[in-house]
Structure 1
Amino acid sequence: MSEKSTIDIITEWDIVAARQLGRNVAKEVGFGTVDQARITTAISELARNIYLYARAGEIIIEPIEGEDKKGIAITATDKGPGIDNVRRVMEDGYSTSGGLGAGLPGVRRLMDHIEIQSLIGQGTIVKVEKWL
């Protein structure tokens, strides 16, 4: 199985590259096409957030193993402005960009676990996991 892979998110093309890498790793781990689509959608949202709000960051994609199970972990890291109210951004419909506000709440629904750490002026780390 593949090791941890990192994609720098600087341009919109990097979002596409992160999606493709995520799909490939998900397929290697053994996820079916529906879960591959869920995983790539989550990666797309996380990478787009980096691109829109922080201007630059990285997506780390890695296969993971637990007790008798396999999965995939995606970590989105940036040194952007940070999120001042994590609880609020996790509410459906909340948007700072004028979008649909489906971003992080959508990612939470697509994945099995989400963890967000953010410090104002220092950046944000979002880690998500999906298990087979």
Structure 2
Amino acid sequence: MNIAPNRVEIHNEWDIVRARQSGRERAKELGFGHVDQARIATAISELARNIYLYAKHGEIIISVIDGEKRGISIIAEDNGPGIRDLRKAMEDGYTTSGGLGAGLPGVKRLMDDFDIVSEEGQGTKITAKKYLR
């Protein structure tokens, strides 16, 4: 299965909705159940919202993992200010936007694999993956 990645540029709140819907549709096509579709959509929503709030623009890339394990890969990438204190940002309840603070730790819990690379002044790249059971 060689399916081109879905790329959604994030510039405004409607783009967050488009990214979320795109991820849910791809998860459904791959055979994820309703609960995992919701988890994937929620993770994408959080990642896209972070791009919009902190970097102003960036991209969500949704691709199929078709190897030993099958699943979905979500990459959230921006050239924003980066995350000053990555350890603190990964603590439950930590927020700089007045939100609920579920953000990145929540995404990590919703997905099977989670990786973040962020450099202050250079931007952030987050890769999150969910595998079919």
What TM-score, normalized to structure 1? Answer: 0.96
Kindly report structure 1 stretches of 4+ aligned residues shifted beyond 6 Å: none
Q: Give matches, 1:1-132, under 5 Å.
A: 1=1, 2-67=3-68, 69-132=69-132
Task: State the one-letter code of the partner of 1:121.
Answer: G
Q: Measure, in 2, the Cα distance between the counterparts of 1:41 and 1:108.
A: 11
The answer to which of 24-33 and 37-46 deviates more is: 24-33
User: Match of 1:116, SS?
Assistant: strand
Compute the displacement of 1:98 (Å): 1.6
CA distance in 2, matches of 1:66, 1:89: 32
Aligned length: 131
- Aligned residue for 2:20, secondary structure, equals helix
Give 3-state SS (helix, strand or coil) of 1:80's partner.
Answer: coil
Q: Deviations over 1:43-93 (max 9, x none)?
A: 0000000000000000000010231x3100000000110001111111101
Distance 1:65 1:131 in 2: 10
1:82-108 CA-partner distances (Å, limit 9, x unpaired) = 001111111101111121110001001
The root-mean-square deviation of aligned C-alpha atoms, in Å, is 0.9
Q: CA deviation at 1:5?
A: 1.3
* Equivalent residue letter for 1:22: G
5+ unaligned residues in a row in structure 1: which ranges?
none
Alignment identity in percent?
66
**TM-score, normalised on structure 2?**
0.95
- Give SS of 2:98's match: coil
CA deviations over 1:14-38 (Å, ceiling 9, x no partner) = 0010011101110111101110000
